[in-house]
Amino acid sequence: MFTVAIIGRPNVGKSTLFNRLCGRRLAIVHDMPGVTRDRREGKASLADLVFRVVDTAGLEEAGPEVLEGRMRQQTDRALSEAHVALMLIDSRAGVTPLDAHFAEILRKAPIPVILVANKCEGGAGKPGFYESYSMGLGDPVPLSAEHGEGLSLLYEALMPIYDAHMAQEAKDEADAVRAAFLETEAASAAKPYIDFASLEPDEVPEDDDSDPSQDPEDDFSVEAFDPRGERPIQMAIIGRPNTGKSTLINRLIGDDRLVTGPEAGVTRDAIEVDWEWGGRRFRLVDTAGLRRKARVENSLEKLMVADTLNAIRLAEVCVLMLDANMVMDRQDLTIARLVIDEGRALVIAVNKWDACADRKAALQRLADRLETSLAQVRGVPFVTLSALEGHGLNRLMDAALEAHAKWNRRVPTSRFNRWLKGMIDRHPLPMGKHGRRLRIRYGTQAKIRPPTFALFMTRPDDLPESYVRYLNSGLREDFDMAGTPIRLLFRATK
């Protein structure tokens, strides 16, 4: 669980902040002899952030002769198990030598540190607040733990770190789910995303000074998916239990053949239904996880995610249902990650909009979380709706169609190479480890669904991740593929 350590010399207000964050929830006071007598931990919440707090209080009773050693010990322990540290000072007292000592330790901390200038109520702490900039721990957050002031600023400082942590956890979980899934389905003949046989280097033009813009076939446009295609669009509606998936399906299909109910995890029949919307055929593929009963209670979550993975693999477009009244949590992110990692088109449906009390805040929070926790795919479309009242369904289906079209997008080779040249001119490739500048000679879209590009270059292993991101986001922007997972494959050539 995301863990926050509160650190600082005696009397700066650590326990007050601890109590403020943990509220009425009982703090667990660890009392194992000789081990953790010095501290308390508790479950805290700050708006939608839920985390564990470790308070390094208790130093107050230590005599000055042992204080420094014990402080050091406690701080190190707290740092080793926390994801972020709150370093408190008493702004009315200014920065004391002991504070400076702490700052020195914390500047080398392996985790992010938020400097908190406590006791800032009523302006009395102003000088100390400004003085604390000198501690080299970044911008201080002015706070009054006792009066509960400044908590929103603390929230803003914590939020990106919290979201990044969630994103990492979601990624790890998605990886674990996929690994477990692959193990059990080792025999299944999953096709590789790219046929390397069709991509032999003889496609690389001999004359690498050729001007791709001379290509007569070039039409400057991005080829859109043929909307008259015969096959129905395979769509999955996925998400945590009780977000309203079945209600939506009932609405879309206009049939009450699916069971909906207020309790989570109702057993349901397998689903695969064809229907039409706006002249396009859709096929709803198994919405998984719905059918299965909780066999083993504590693995329900895992089962659900594994079933969801199944549905994702059957689908082309995935609609991830969220409940507008609940913030996007780690499990939602895990599911989103699975969709992206599987290379499917993703649309987020924010359901129960009718019952959402603070719509503006809900949207802002969602946008923030997508930005920090799902940065791989900028611009995932999200649609607010009420499955219950039948509002927003057209917008949802339009978004699904558009996501599907982008997922099918094909960029002509000459256009792609001109774009590539422009990108490299604007931001030259770095030097390789051999001391010469890396070169990307040529690229081509190897595959659609999702758009996959093969680039032939010198020493692909030397290409930094930041450059890959630069190309990826440029591609997404310049070819209108917002929200689409894009794959870039780098192949070595001389």
User: Where on the chain is the footprint of ligand GDP (CB under 6 A)?
Assistant: 241-247, 260-262, 290, 351-352, 354-355, 386-388
Residue 6's DSSP bridge partners are 55, 86
Q: Which residue, 242 or 444, has its beta carbon nearer to ligand GDP?
A: 242
Two tokens, residue 228: 């008259």
Two tokens, residue 41: 């931990």
DSSP state of 23: T
In the complex, minimum distance from the CB of residue 301 to ligand GDP, in angstroms, rounded to a whole number = 14
DSSP state of 355: G
Q: Which residue, 170 or 252, has its beta carbon nearer to ligand GDP?
A: 252
In the complex, minimum distance from the CB of residue 249 to ligand GDP, in angstroms, rounded to a whole number = 8
Peptide bond into 450 cis (omega under 30): yes
The rounded distance, in Å, linking the Cα atoms of 111 and 394 is 46
Q: CA–CA distance from 193 to each of 35, 403, 448 (Å)?
A: 53, 19, 9
Q: Which residue, 320 or 454, has its beta carbon nearer to ligand GDP?
A: 320
CB 78 within 8 A of CB 56: yes
Q: Which residue, 314 or 468, has its beta carbon nearer to ligand GDP?
A: 314
Q: Which residue, 9 or 352, has its beta carbon nearer to ligand GDP?
A: 352
Residue 280 C-beta-side C-alpha neighbours within 13 Å: 21
The rounded distance, in Å, linking the Cα atoms of 92 and 124 is 6
The rounded distance, in Å, linking the Cα atoms of 49 and 10 is 27
In the complex, minimum distance from the CB of residue 165 to ligand GDP, in angstroms, rounded to a whole number = 27
Longest dimension (CA), the chain: 84
Q: Which residue, 216 or 262, has its beta carbon nearer to ligand GDP?
A: 262
CB count in 10 Å sphere of residue 124: 13
- Measured from each CB, the residue nearest to ligand GDP is 244
Q: Is beta strand 273-277 parallel, antiparallel or unpaired with respect to 141-142?
A: unpaired
Q: Which residue, 164 or 388, has its beta carbon nearer to ligand GDP?
A: 388
